[in-house]
Amino acid sequence: MNIPVRNIWWLMLYASDLGPNLNKSLLGSEELPEEIPELIGEILSKAVEDRLRRQLTVSFQTRSAVISRVRGRIDHLTTYRKQLLSKGKVACHFDELSINTPRNRYVRAALQKLSRLISKPSLSKRCRTLANDLLAQGVIGEAPNLKQLNIERFGRHDQADKSMIAAAKLAMDLALPTEQDGPYSILDPQRCEHWLRRLFEKAIGGFYRYHLKPSDWKVNTGKPIYWAKNKPTMDIENIFPSMRTDIVLDHVSAPQRIVIDTKFTSVFEKGWHRAKSLKTGYIYQLYSYLRSQEGQGDPLDNNSAGILLHPAIGESVDESVFIQGHQMRFSTVDLTKSHQEIKETLLSLVMTTQFEENLVKSKLYCKGYFKKG
């Protein structure tokens, strides 16, 4: 799938945890792809400068050293092998507070990577200088991988690190779609299909979380759906499958609910006695999401609609049908279009979704339920 690099970066931006730190004017712009690394560079540089002014977050790190008195746990093997006791020394493993944490090493590596990716000389130098400042303060060694980084939990006293780490993660990811020459990403499907599928799902959720007014809309991602089960047998809970939606948009005051299921596949398949057909399994899945929740006490479930959303290249599909009182919509978003066109397509899906068969068009957009920008 040939997707412009710029649009992959936009997806990564929306899929990240940066949220309120995003610059609204840049999110509506159509500049060169290099602008997005510069945006992340600005956010990360500012976050690191703030942390350096207030002091970097420290945590206990395990250290091994040969010292003159016992501290922590004795390394008996090293002490015996090097005959340290005869020299008045002992090898120990102990914990001490240090700024050389996996989190700070990860940020330093992200700054170094951004300095090579950013085209603006002054910002590139700023990132490089901050990386050297961290090095001078004792942040040394290789950057951790994501698994090692995620072991370190955020506590009450280091919440300010969240946006810094979110920007650093995005900076480390920005190099992924630059393996090819030219303005288009030609990603190896065997290696990147799963990554792109997850990226698309997270980006659509992040897009609506950013652009819909939080005072009117509640955006849920990965929300579980529970079956209205009666008279279960003893072991049915162990074998009965659960349901989980990709994205649920709740307009509480309306009240209306839109269930969005993202699919990183073609919207069509070869049909019986026809050239193409919507995929049956996906229709059953969306139908189950909508109908299984009726009558369980939540008014939003009784006034809901569903959207199957597929990415596309040079193709536009937007078809819908009402089935037993719920609109089911089958739509694509063309990832070769400009960011502004993609934005308008995704907002229009919410604006024009219908909740009654005699409803011509939703008035939500006209009533100001969307953010500007």
Which of 74-78, 173-177, 284-288, 359-363 is predicted with the least confidence, judged by mean pLDDT? Answer: 359-363
Q: How confident is the model at residue 192 (pLDDT cuts 50, 70, 90)?
A: low
Domain end call among 98, 129, 150: 98
What are the tokens at 162? 């969240």
pLDDT of 333: 94
Residues 80 and 179 in one domain: no
Residues 92 and 107 in one domain: no
pLDDT of 31: 43
Residues 210 and 93 in one domain: no
Q: How confident is the model at residue 34 (pLDDT cuts 50, 70, 90)?
A: very low
Task: Tell me which residue range forms the domain holding 89.
Answer: 59-98
Residue 154 within a domain: yes
Q: What CATH number does the domain containing 237 carry?
A: 3.40.1350.10
Nearest one of 214, 295, 220 to 259, comparing CA atoms: 220
Residue 227 within a domain: yes
Residue 368 within a domain: no
Which is more confidently placed, 37 or 191?
A: 37
Residue 115 within a domain: yes
Residues 254 and 320 in one domain: yes
Q: How confident is the model at residue 368 (pLDDT cuts 50, 70, 90)?
A: low
What's the mean pLDDT in 216-221? 91
Residues 182 and 281 in one domain: no
* β-pair partners for 224: 244
Residue 157 within a domain: yes
pLDDT of 189: 44
Per the listing, tokens 């090097």 go with 82
pTM of the model: 0.73
Residues 162 and 205 in one domain: no
Residues 126 and 27 in one domain: yes
Is residue 200 over pLDDT 80?
yes
pLDDT of 188: 45
Residues 317 and 214 in one domain: yes
Residues 53 and 63 in one domain: no
Nearest one of 341, 365, 343 to 353, comparing CA atoms: 365
Q: How far apart are CA 111 and CA 48, in angstroms?
A: 9
Q: How confident is the model at residue 176 (pLDDT cuts 50, 70, 90)?
A: low
Residues 23 and 121 in one domain: yes
Residues 234 and 123 in one domain: no
Residue 66 within a domain: yes
pLDDT digits (tens, 9 = 90+) for 87-143: 999 999 998 888 888 889 999 999 999 998 888 899 999 999 999 999 999 898 888
Count the domains in the chain: 3
Residues 106 and 118 in one domain: yes
Residue 220 within a domain: yes
pLDDT digits (tens, 9 = 90+) for 47-68: 899 888 888 888 788 889 999 9
Domain end call among 160, 186, 212: 186
Residue 286 within a domain: yes
